Amino acid sequence: MSLTETSIKTSETPLGRDDLARLVAKDIAPGSFVNLGIGQPTLVSNYLTDEQNITLHTENGMLGMGPAAEGDEIDGDLINAGKIPVTELPGASYFHHADSFAIMRGGHLDICVLGAFQVSATGDLANWHTGAPGAIPAVGGAMDLATGAKDVFVMMTLLTREGASKIVESCTYPLTGVGCVTRVYTDKAVFLTGPDGVTVRETFGCTLEELQELVPVPLKAASGVGSAA
């Protein structure tokens, strides 16, 4: 596939946060067990359909998590990893923290979706700490999720506010996990990462050539461009 291939562009404009969440949701295989990280990844739950039959895991000890609780549903004993009150769906289960992280570490989760500061060409993830002097570090379950889930999807904007690519040759922020990220969903493209480098599945509002100008690692076009994976 040549770098000038244009059919890889599946949207004339960059994707907004909700469109990106919709795309991630569509890519989750029916019947999957999924953990959605705090922040942007949480939006994905808005676009999962009943037909997909996805079971959501929350690190604080629950499978079968439902939508955010409202009004009378709010119960301080029923919260998600972001400490937001949520609801339980029929078939939900509760378990203690060691079991909850055994579910992650043991490779039982199909997918986790996380935010990131940086992802390296080989799928290293940096998402927990800027390493800035004086910053108070807090890691939570990020390292466990990154290491344990069968597939680690990252959702982020491609560029920092200063215009630097968050896909990098090697992470400059402290690592969360080594070689763990399998896909990166950004406003400008979907990237597949792994030991063989970075493959672009599709682009939004730019050609692969334009994308390559923004990203400092060699990009390849995926074969079978245009089809959802």
As measured in angstroms, the least distance from the Cβ of 114 to another protein is 14
Selected catalytic residue, list 59, 88, 162, 202: 59
By CB under 8 A, the residues from 126 to 155 that bind another protein are 129, 134, 136-144, 147-148
β 62-68/86-94 pair status: antiparallel
Q: What φ, ψ does residue 94 adopt, rounded to 5°?
A: -115, 150
Does the annotation mark 59 as catalytic? yes
**What is the widest separation between alpha-carbon atoms in the chain?**
57
Cα gap 18→65, rounded to integer Å: 21
Choice between 144 and 202, CB closer to another protein: 144
Structure tokens at 46: 């808005």
Contact call for residues 67 and 74 (beta carbons, < 8 A): no
Choice between 38 and 159, CB closer to another protein: 38
Helix (H, G, I), strand (E, B) or coil at 89: strand
As measured in angstroms, the least distance from the Cβ of 14 to another protein is 30
Residue 174 one-letter amino acid: P
Choice between 27 and 88, CB closer to another protein: 88
Tell me, residue by residue from 52 to 91, as one string, x for binding to another protein by CB under 8 A and - for no binding. Answer: ------xxxxx-----------xxxxxx---x-x--x---
- Please report, to the nearest 10 degrees, the dihedral formed by the alpha carbons of residues 183, 185, 186, 189 taken in order: 80
Residues recognised as catalytic? 59
Which residues bind to another protein, rule: CB under 8 A? 58-62, 74-79, 83, 85, 88, 94-98, 100-102, 104-105, 124, 129, 134, 136-144, 147-148, 174-178
